[in-house]
Amino acid sequence: MATVKDVALRAGVSLGSVSNYLNGKRLKPKTASRIKKAMDELDYHQNIIASGLKKNKSMSIGIVVNSLTDFFSMSIVSEIENYVENYGYSIIICDCREDKQRFEEKIEFLLNRSIDAIVVFHQDESSPMLEKVVEQAVPIVAIDAPIHGIQSDVVLVNNYESSREGVVDLINRGYQKIGIISGQPRNYISRERQGGYEDALREHDLPINQQYIWQGNYTIQSGVEGATRLLTKHPEIEALFVINYYMSLGALKALRQNFSKRHVEMLVFDHFFVNDIFYPSISSIEQPVATIGKTAGRLLIERLVKGKEGNYETIYCKNSLRT
């Protein structure tokens, strides 16, 4: 069985360099590459359990998402994993399925496995288990929404401003009767994005017609229902702003099946590659998933490796409007 000394000899580096690599310390890229290559060639595997016991760490990070099928969240998770594995950390992914009780159970599951940090998505309210995470001094990184009552690092996009700018673009292109397929008002993202929509209308002296607002539940079927209801009851609607990707798929399905002879411009919050294949193309607000993931990874490593305490950061990553 290969040893650390064998790896150092094969890579042509010092034992200290190999030790630093295994402990997640940053090395010159060339040195790190040589060590990794030597480890692969020798089939060297670090004993994570023994290493973790020595450092009083599990070398694992728990991540709780609303759905394992959510492309947005899982794209970010992939970037987080790519970042933290350079420092010797692995991830444990849990799916809470948008269920509060299941969310609590998953947080408890992760705490029982002595994870070193937790990442949560779309959670804007505290909970008993999140409070327990704080009590145990386990770092939290919140993505997509700040957690009310919990001190943590937060990685966001500017949902309000991006929505406002997107709707202003529609108005500048001549659309005045603009409907919105929004989410539930208790949800942070829904409030921010719908707020941007409403303020864009106000800025251009356009009325906020409550009949043009559909509050869905972020699913494809909800998008079908919202678009069908809005466009059937209000045929004068010229454009739709859909605040999430899955509801936009439903809205597009409704347009194709029931309103194919009408031109309804669409603005979607979230851009993924499939948007490019639609004809006519749709406007979209693209979230920088790679930047969000890398930023979350950096914040985790600052806490776990560099020993940062307090001074919690809220970082906004910049969206881009595609028309």
CA distance readout (Å), 185 to 188, 191, 316, 318, 321:
8, 6, 22, 24, 24
CB 104 within 8 A of CB 96: no
Any idea which of 85-99, 174-188, 205-219, 267-281 has the lowest mean pLDDT?
267-281
Task: Determine the average pLDDT of the residues in 36-53.
Answer: 71
Give which of 104, 77, 3, 14 is closest to 293, Cα–Cα.
77
pLDDT of residue 176: 98
What structural domains does the chain harbor? Answer: 4-46 (no CATH), 50-151+289-317 (3.40.50.2300), 159-286 (3.40.50.2300)
pLDDT of residue 273: 60
Q: Is the pLDDT of residue 26 over 80?
A: no
Q: Using one digit for the tens of pLDDT, what is the confidence trace for 163-205?
A: 999 999 999 999 999 999 999 999 999 999 999 999 999 999 9
Residues 317, 318, 322, 323, CA torsion sign:
positive
Distance CA 117, CA 111 (A): 9
Q: Which amino acid is at 252?
A: L
Describe the strand order of the beta sheet including 117-121 as a list of residue ranges: 90-95, 60-65, 117-121, 140-143, 153-157, 314-317
CB 90 within 8 A of CB 306: no
Task: Determine the average pLDDT of the residues in 279-297.
Answer: 91
pLDDT of residue 54: 47
12 exposure class (CB count in 10 Å sphere: 0-12, 13-18, 19+):
exposed
**Token digits of residue 273:** 């590659």
Q: Using one digit for the tens of pLDDT, what is the confidence trace for 97-144?
A: 999 999 999 999 999 999 999 999 999 999 999 999 999 999 999 999
Give which of 273, 255, 245 is closest to 189, Cα–Cα.
245
Task: Determine the average pLDDT of the residues in 14-43.
Answer: 85
Distance CA 287, CA 192 (A): 15
Helix (H) or strand (E) holding 169: helix 159-172
pLDDT of residue 53: 46
Q: Is the pLDDT of residue 302 over 90?
A: yes
CB atoms within 10 A of CB 160: 17
Distance CA 22, CA 4 (A): 9
Q: Is 141 helix (H, G, I), strand (E, B) or coil?
A: strand
More reliable by pLDDT, 294 or 38: 294
More reliable by pLDDT, 33 or 103: 103
CB atoms within 10 A of CB 54: 10
pLDDT of residue 55: 56
Residues 102, 105, 107, 113, CA torsion sign:
negative
Residue percentage of the chain with pLDDT more than 90: 76
Distance CA 41, CA 145 (A): 43
Q: Using one digit for the tens of pLDDT, what is the confidence trace for 46-79?
A: 655 455 544 568 899 999 999 999 989 999 999 9
Distance CA 236, CA 269 (A): 23
Distance CA 122, CA 143 (A): 6
121 exposure class (CB count in 10 Å sphere: 0-12, 13-18, 19+):
buried
pLDDT of residue 81: 97
Q: What is the pTM of this model?
A: 0.83
**Token digits of residue 41:** 């060639």
